[in-house]
Structure 1
Amino acid sequence: MIYEFRTYRLRPRALPEFLGLFGDALPRREQFSKLAAFWYTEIGPLNEVIHVWPYENALERTRIRAEAVKAGVWPPATGHLILDMKAEVFDALPFSPALDPSDHGPFFEMRTSTLKPFSIPTMVERWKDRIAARAELSPLIGVFSSDIGGLNRWMHIWAYRSLDERDVIRKRAEEQGIWPPPEESPAMDEESKILLAAPFSPIK
């Protein structure tokens, strides 16, 4: 299974119209494959939307996207609202939960690290025996490494009921020695975004 994360930067104040157009077109697009999640930024780089599509492999991705375009159901008529577009393909790590519909939000933190080249296996070793204890404190939505797009990227997404809950849980994890893993990290750069789910997102 691969996951395509499509990130669009919108014009200021364009989000309501974009969500309306995307949501109206989505049922016809989902006749070909299902949407996993749709988020928009609340804190961090503003006016971004992120939609996530699962595929069995790259061949299925190419076939489904071509079929949806040929049928005239996709993409939605949102081009006038978009300033920039980026597509990345990620693989889920072995300890990542499936991106199934859920209701753990409404706040989601997407944390992305750029790692030293060839250090994905090192990061897996740091996380594999510790991630379960951290996930007991707040729901883990997924952990991914990049395959197409920016390379050496490690992304994890966590759900919270409130921003206050996020602060409490992160402090508790650090005070109890649960998280972050104590070994030296291969991360060279890090960024974080706080996201909210669109009304039609299967993950809320």
Structure 2
Amino acid sequence: MAIHLGNSSNKIVQNLRHLSTTSAKNDAWLSKIFVRKIEPTKESHSRMLSDKEVIYSLQTHNYRPDVKAAYLNNVKNTVEWVKSQEQLKNSVNLVGSWTVNVGDQDQALHLWKFTGGFHQIDKFNSLTDTNEEYEKLREEQGKLVRARHLQYLLAFSYWPQILAREPKNIYEIRSYSLKPGTMIEWGNNWARAINFRKNNDEAFAGFFSQVGRLYNVHHIWCYENLNKRKETRESAWRSPGWDECVAYTVPLIREMHCRIMVPTDYSPTQ
């Protein structure tokens, strides 16, 4: 039995064919932009992206709202204890200490630097596991917090050197959860993207995780205030090439969030 289509039906079929063809062309075009071929290598990705002789630890603590002062005093005493240990001098240093102002409320982040890699971290853990004074500080802290998380991080080699800031500033930590296998591609694109902002003083630190939640990236930016942050970010979007770098990295992200932080009184960077 033959089926005859009217003029209107023929137009529908033609439109569907056009849509199908257009969609296929668009998909092919997008794949050329967003898909990057990562060549096989005998070197680990972390070795290609960073210096493994320096490890950073990022402590994230959710403290109880009613004990903020006691919690911060506990961390201050812990920092002073580390400074007092002769065997840790010049090898374990606090880089920054912040409380979250916008984002996850009642949260604090502490960034430590271990010069000497995981060997130095092993040495630190051996010392703290057998020290009664440190154990008391840890037990006290356990009564003041609701949750804790620790990550060991490596600094991206293309990021500017970490320098302490003063006077008082605000900090933004932008945290990204990437698709597994995309860290090299992220690094390749951000090695170009950072050039659009490295002449400004806001690029504080850039890390990727080694132990803890994996395929995590943290970019920490420093601003005079929220309005300065707005002006700086708008200026970056006016730079030719910045939008292209963003377009290449967005498809690599599974999840992202930002937090605005303020330094504690005892933070080395203000």
TM-score scaled by length of structure 1: 0.91
- Given residue 119 of structure 2, which amino acid in structure 1 is its aligned partner? L
d(CA) in 2 for partners of 1:129, 1:104:
30
The correspondence of residues 40-119 of structure 1 with structure 2, limited to 5 A, is: 40-55=99-114, 56-74=116-134, 76=137, 77-103=140-166, 105-119=168-182
| 8 A Cα contact 2:159 2:194, kept in partner | no
4+ long deviations beyond 6 Å: none
Q: Which has the higher strand share?
A: 1
Closer/same/farther in 2, CA of residues 70 and 98 from structure 1, 3 Å limit? farther
Choose between structure 1 and 2 for higher RCO, CA contacts under 8 A separated by at least 6 residues.
1
- Provide, for residues 151-179 of structure 1, a one-character-per-residue CA deviation record: whole Å limited to 9, x for no partner: 11111000000011111111111123463
d(CA) in 2 for partners of 1:59, 1:137:
35
d(CA) in 2 for partners of 1:137, 1:101:
15
Structure 2, unpaired ranges of 5+: 1-53
**Mean CA deviation greater in 193-202 or 32-41:** 32-41
Q: Which has the higher helix share?
A: 2
Closer/same/farther in 2, CA of residues 25 and 88 from structure 1, 3 Å limit? closer
1:38 shift after superposition = 0.8
d(CA) in 2 for partners of 1:124, 1:104:
31
* Residue in 2 that maps onto 1:184: 248
1:105 shift after superposition = 4.8
* Residue in 1 that maps onto 2:206: 143
* Residue in 1 that maps onto 2:28: none
d(CA) in 1 for partners of 2:78, 2:255:
37
1:104 shift after superposition = 6.4
Structure 1, unpaired ranges of 5+: none
**Mean CA deviation greater in 69-78 or 106-115:** 69-78
CA RMSD in angstroms comes to 1.8
- Provide, for residues 64-91 of structure 1, a one-character-per-residue CA deviation record: whole Å limited to 9, x for no partner: 1321342333252322111001001111
* Residue in 1 that maps onto 2:18: none
TM-score scaled by length of structure 2: 0.70
d(CA) in 1 for partners of 2:71, 2:77:
10
Alignment coverage as a number of residue pairs: 204
| 8 A Cα contact 1:25 1:73, kept in partner | no
Identity over aligned residues, as a percent? Answer: 20
Partner secondary structure for residue 266 of structure 2: coil
